[in-house]
Each structure stands twice: as structure tokens, then as C-alpha cells.
Amino acid sequence: MKKHLISPSIISANFSCLGKDISKVISSGADMIHFDVMDNHYVPNITMGPFILESIRSYGINVPIDVHLMTNPVDNLIEKFIFAGANYIIFHPESTLHLDKSLNLIKNFKCKSGLAFNPSTSLNYLEYVIEKIDIILIMGVNPGFSGQSFIPNTINKIKNVRKIIDNIKPNILLAVDGGININNISSISKAGANIFISGSEIFGSNNYLKIISSMKKKISCNF
Ligand code: DX5
Ligand code: ZN
């Protein structure tokens, strides 16, 4: 039985009471928290830095947190986010000049590492570094904003990544991020995803427990 985890993206949370909103989503069944970092350079938007992650940890949030760096460059932020409390650091391979080196920076701190692939990014980046990766994140949208529609061809990409993982390193987690909703989560799970990252569908709902339970039910029907 594969692991299936719901990771709400707090980019869509209520920032005027962030700690409280995160606690609420966790008590409603979230397994981990997705922390989107945007720098108004790699993507045309700006979100949160390491201080916010640190304050979330001080508030008492202790579930695993995956930090998704949508920044260019990435190297100088890696250590800062690890010290602030990240469990996973995930970045886009084309956003660093020296991919192997950036992965080593994460591994040196014994943190889990991941690569994120935009809809048009080739999976070839995996070829020489897959042994250093704990999680692969497939984007269902072009990064930068929550609330966008899932790009249908992503399903084929998820299936391809699932084959690569099963053949080469089966313990790599496969996360999908962007455009996940109650209607498409089942096909995303059938294609082979383990981690379902969702922002607007969860935080836009007025009943976190109900939406997360329905998502988990849709996933479990496939197994
Ligand atoms: C997109 C971010 C996603 C996104 C998820 O750039 O990486 O995490 O905000 O939000 P939804 O689920 O609303 O697409
Ligand atoms: Zn993200």
C-alpha cells in the first residue's frame, strides 16, 4: 500500500491569523503543510520568507513542512529554510546553475530534497541526480499563483514519473501541485501520485474537515 498524504498549500490560507488557520487545517486531517516561496523573479509573485516559517514552528505547528522554492537562485535560501524548520526543500532544476551542488547543500544538512517540474520542464534533469532525491513534485499549473486550472496533460507526466520511480528508486515520493480539486484528485491518484498539494480547494472551502475527508475518500477508492 502506497502512502497518500494531503498537503494544504498555505499560500491560500488566511494570513491575518496564519497559525490558527494552519492548526485548523491540521486538525481537519491535513498530513503535512506546503510552504510556497515566491520571489517576484523566478515567478511574478512574492510570498513568504524563512521568518514566517520560523514563526509557524514557534506557534507549535509540528507536522512535516515541505518548502517549495520558486526562486532564482536557490542556494542562499536553502540553509535559511532548513534552520527555520523545513523537512523537505524542493526547488526547480532550471532555477540553479549547479543542480548537483544545490542538492548536496540540502543533503549536507540531512534534510529531504526534491525537484519540482513545471508543465514544460523535461524529466531529463533526473538522469544523473535521482539518487540524491527524496521527492519529485510535478506541477499541474505554471507556478506563480494559486487558483489556476489543472493542465490535463500533467496526467501523462505523472504516469511517466511513476514508472521512473518504480524502476529506479521506489521510495521517492511523487507530489502533485497546482489545480487539484475534488473532481480531478481521483485521476491524479490513479496516475500514481502520493502527495496531493492543494491551496484554493481546501482553504477556499468553508469546511476543511469535509473537503479533506472527501479528498481522502476519492483517493482510497483507487486502492
Ligand atoms: C503554484 C503553487 C501551488 C499553488 C497551489 O505556484 O506552487 O502550491 O499555490 O494552489 P492551488 O491548489 O489553488 O492551485
Ligand atoms: Zn507549491
Contact 199, 21 (CB under 8 A): no
State which of 11, 95, 121 you would mutate to test the pocket of ligand 1, scoring each by most atoms of that ligand within 8 A of its C-beta: 11
Indicate if ligand 1 lies below 6 Å from the C-beta of 11. Answer: yes
Tell me what pLDDT residue 1 has: 43
Indicate if ligand 1 lies below 6 Å from the C-beta of 140. Answer: no
Would residue 39 show up in a list of annotated catalytic residues for this protein?
A: no
Residues 66 and 88: their CA atoms lie apart, in Å, by 5
Domains of the chain as residue ranges with CATH: 5-220 (3.20.20.70)
Cα of first residue to Cα of last residue in the chain, in angstroms, is 8
Q: Which residues place a Cβ less than 5 A from the ion ligand 2?
A: 36, 68, 177
Q: Which ligand is nearest to the CA of 11?
A: 1
Residue of minimum CA distance from atom 6 in ligand 1: 143
The order of strands in the sheet holding 112-117 is 5-8, 195-198, 173-177, 135-139, 112-117, 88-91, 65-70, 33-38
**d(CA 199, ligand 1 centre) in Å:** 5
Query: What's the pLDDT tens digit per position in 43-77?
Result: 999 999 999 999 999 999 999 999 999 999 999 99
Tell me what pLDDT residue 223 has: 84
**d(CA 103, ligand 2 centre) in Å:** 18
Instruction: Kindly give the pairing relationship between strand 112-117 and strand 135-139.
Output: parallel
Indicate if ligand 1 lies below 6 Å from the C-beta of 68. Answer: yes
Atom of ligand 1 nearest to the CA of 178: 14
Q: Which residues contact 23 (CB under 8 A, 6 or more apart)?
A: 59, 60, 61
Residues 25 and 17: their CA atoms lie apart, in Å, by 12
| pLDDT-derived band at 157, boundaries 50, 70, 90 | very high
How does DSSP classify residue 39?
Answer: B
Residues 88 and 68: their CA atoms lie apart, in Å, by 8
Query: What's the pLDDT tens digit per position in 102-153?
Result: 999 999 999 999 999 999 999 999 999 999 999 999 999 999 999 999 999 9
Contact 60, 99 (CB under 8 A): no
**Location of C-alpha cell 481537519:** 28
